[in-house]
């Protein structure tokens, strides 16, 4: 659910992204029943799940690439104003 409309998160503060990453890591830890001594990076790597900030970056790049194909001039201006 938190990954829906990921490009919107690009303008969120890093502290908010970090909170979402903590939530994601907790969910993965519960889902895998991982013991406390397994680091989050290992869980993410084993499951093939990127960190939330990395996922936002890749989804945003895909979204921005699609904007170039749109013929609407207002949409083309949008890509210049997004941070």
The total number of structural domains that make up the chain: 1
Please say if the pLDDT value at position 68 is more than 80: no
SS (H, E, C) the chain: CCCCCHHHHHHCCHHHHHHHHHHHHHHHHHHHCCCCCCCHHHHHHHHCCCCHHHHHHHHHHHHHHHHCCCCCHHHHHHHHHCC
* pTM score: 0.70
19 within domain boundaries: yes
Enclosing domain of residue 64: 6-81
15-60: per-residue pLDDT in tens? 988 998 999 999 999 999 999 899 999 999 999 999 988 988 888 8
1 within domain boundaries: no
């Amino acid at each position: 659910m938190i990954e829906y409309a990921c490009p919107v998160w690009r303008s969120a503060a890093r502290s908010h992204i970090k909170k979402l990453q903590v939530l994601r890591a907790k969910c993965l830890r519960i889902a895998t029943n991982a013991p406390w001594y397994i680091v989050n990076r290992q869980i993410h790597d084993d499951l093939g799940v990127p960190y939330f900030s990395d996922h936002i970056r890749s989804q945003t790049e895909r979204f921005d690439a699609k904007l170039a194909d749109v013929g609407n001039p207002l949409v083309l201006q949008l890509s210049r104003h997004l941070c």
